[in-house]
Structure 1
Amino acid sequence: MAEPQTTVQAPLKNDRFLRALLRESVDVTPVWMMRQAGRYLPEYRATRAQAGDFLSLCKNRELACEVTLQPLERFDLDAAILFSDILTIPDAMDLGLYFEQGEGPRFKKIIRTEKDVSDIVVPNAEVDLDYVMNAVTEIRGALNGRVPLIGFSGSPWTLATYMVEGGSSKDFRHIKKMMYAEPDVLHALLDKLAQSVTTYLNAQIRAGAQAVQIFDTWGGVLSRQMYQQFSLAYMERIVAGLIREHEGRKVPVIMFTKNGGQWLESMAAAKPDALGVDWTTDIGEARQRVGGQVALQGNMDPSVLYASPERIRAEVADILERFGPGNGQVFNLGHGIHQFADPDHAKVFVDAVHELSAKYHA
């Protein structure tokens, strides 16, 4: 096993992202984009072709570092996010992750029975996922204090959907059948995943991640009661088990449930530092509901980037106005940037956030 590099990290030159997550004062609203290192960038596509395939790119720490930094060379972003995938944990559980052209992620071994769950071993993050930790340390060194580095994981519920369905799903019939017919089996799976995510994120923090985000991509497909039991309860357990201070400063935690705007109060009670909000929730209403407890991150519809520069700037201005003056906002898209987005339009978006937000922090 290759050990993560041990280097003295440079002090941060731009910490407004971390300050905003902790609801501290900033000069302008910080901005980054989910999936900011991705297929919409021609330089990313070239590096991915060099790697051979997506998983090989994730597991090559030099190339993972390269693509993490690519968007920072184009845009005035306030954070970098580790280039990796949410399915690294199930992959480390020997489920045989692979990617099919046009079909997305697939697993050779699917989890459907009590025995399947009992056979799963919680991975040792620093051994079984050492390539991720090596990439984190490599990226931190290459950033040289330019901006903070975000680590991340999928939520237990979201990881479980892929493991039980065998890949992506439109109706989630297998995992919902398990949830209603054999809830104890699903709880046992989610318990192992919560342990795995906690140790995984803590390993990322020790390796150099300065903030972490939990991506609950599929929590929004649940009813309120089922969300509380099968998604939020496990994320709350993870948040409680995370390292919250490292390298002499706080490590903020962001919790993001896509289509979860109706549950913001319950999510805030789980005690993350910030909540991600997608474009289906008004950011001003979200601030009224939970802004005294957590920072808010979001929430422009990624499809706005298909519009004209003038329309993009108008949308940024509207979201800033709806949030209003004061602290506790991180600007982002409401989900990942689309692969067909124009990079020049992404630059308009990022620059507009900085330019138009200054008056709200005077």
Structure 2
Amino acid sequence: MFAPLQNDTFLRACLRQATDHTPVWLMRQAGRYLPEYCATRAKAGSFMGLATNTDFATEVTLQPLERYPLDAAILFSDILTVPDAMGLGLSFAQGEGPKFAKNVRNEAAVNELAVPDMAKLRYVFDAVTSIRKALNGRVPLIGFSGSPWTLACYMVEGAGSDDYRQVKSLMYSRPDLMHRILEINADAVALYLNTQIEAGAQAVMIFDSWGGVLADGMFQQFSMAYTKRVLAQLKRSHDGAVIPRLVFTKGGGLWLPEMADLDCDVLGVDWTVNLAKARAQVGGAVGGPGKALQGNLDPNALFAPADAIATEARRVLDAFGKPHTDKTTTGPTQIFNLGHGISQFTPPESVGVLVEAVHSHSRALRKP
């Protein structure tokens, strides 16, 4: 049904296999920093108009790949599609971020929650299949979801938050309700990601964007435990291909040694993490088990002049160190990314400088 893959560098790096260069893709690579994205969004009329239209979602997913030799595409969608399908009523006001018509703050609201019928998310799966066909084997397609905890933050707050007061109040005062929300979210996320895999996603990523706002002890109970619950239900392979599983917790560097036990292939880290330390903690040895690492340039480095961007890219690659080069076994690998999503104000030409620097310097690092 789909064309054979021409560039599998990203998938091999996810599985800790030696590659000729360090693969690079960017969180939010299809986004507002690209004028062509803004033009398509204007045609669509709204963010949800863009995300729910298969042709538009396909078009914007491919836009960054037309400009830059990136090593992976990521589905254009939003993490909040799942709670929207639960009936919470998602909308995006221009420049304001997401809002829900209903929030989940009491027993009655929690009792109404259920794993949604995936038919309500058909537009996502149609987009996955359409994008995969349009890529024509150029690079792999990553599917994704928000983590159970991150989705719960938005569901309880009703929107984004600066202090997470509502969700943390519920967590501390009624942990039983919080656990119930998270159980439903975890089972919904697992089903959602498995359906993306069936539609054509070649890797899946869990974005725990707000895991880092939790206290130590609370992170393990209310975030990591439910990420584990998702991972336990995910398909390991589809159509004869292994499906790598990636987990990114923003602000989660403190818990990397504990996350080494997660049943996933890749751990993403933000820019506060030292990659050499992270590699020592979770990267494993050649021939042994471990996690691939994804990250971790500060997105604001892309506002610097071109030579400074290239210097920072090389610094991140040097921090990780020489990747293993033995193609007969597995070992420590890096997938280059930003430590969070790309800013809408990023000059598009800065991304070109970054991708070129990553590819050229990572090739040089592999030379004997």
CA distance in 2 between counterparts of 1:243 and 1:272 reads: 11
My pick for the range that moved more, 111-120 or 140-149, is 111-120
2:307 to 287, 307, 310: 310
The residue aligned with 1:118 is: 111
State whether residues 278 and 334 of structure 1, in contact with CA within 8 Å, keep that contact through their aligned partners in structure 2. yes
Structure 1 residue 265 displacement after superposition:
1.3
SS in 1 for 2:25: coil
1:351 to 340, 356, 360: 356
Over residues 136-177 of structure 1, what are the superposed CA-to-partner deviations in whole Å (9 max), with x where a residue is unaligned? 000000000000000000001000000100100001111101
Runs of 4+ in 1 over 3 A off after TM superposition: none
The residue aligned with 2:341 is: 336
The residue aligned with 1:10 is: 3
Map residues 99-248 of structure 1 onto 2, 5 A cutoff.
99-125=92-118, 127-248=119-240
1:64 to 42, 52, 57: 57
Q: Provide structure 1 residue ranges, at least 5 long, that are not aligned to the other structure.
A: 1-7
The residue aligned with 1:298 is: 295
SS in 2 for 1:45: helix
AA in 1 matched with 2:91: Y
Report the TM-score, using the length of structure 2 for normalisation.
0.95
The CA RMSD measured in Å over matched residues stands at 0.8
Over residues 262-282 of structure 1, what are the superposed CA-to-partner deviations in whole Å (9 max), with x where a residue is unaligned? 101111201210000100001
The residue aligned with 1:3 is: none
State whether residues 26 and 361 of structure 1, in contact with CA within 8 Å, keep that contact through their aligned partners in structure 2. no
AA in 2 matched with 1:304: A
The residue aligned with 1:47 is: 40
CA distance in 2 between counterparts of 1:251 and 1:357 reads: 25
My pick for the range that moved more, 108-117 or 71-80, is 108-117
State whether residues 191 and 234 of structure 1, in contact with CA within 8 Å, keep that contact through their aligned partners in structure 2. yes
* Percent identity over paired residues: 58
SS in 1 for 2:143: strand
Structure 1 residue 247 displacement after superposition:
2.1
Structure 1 residue 82 displacement after superposition:
0.1
CA distance in 1 between counterparts of 2:321 and 2:47 reads: 40
SS in 1 for 2:88: coil
Q: How many residues align?
A: 354
Map residues 86-105 of structure 1 onto 2, 5 A cutoff.
86-105=79-98
Over residues 272-297 of structure 1, what are the superposed CA-to-partner deviations in whole Å (9 max), with x where a residue is unaligned? 10000100001111001110110000
Q: Provide structure 2 residue ranges, at least 5 long, that are not aligned to the other structure.
A: 285-289, 325-332
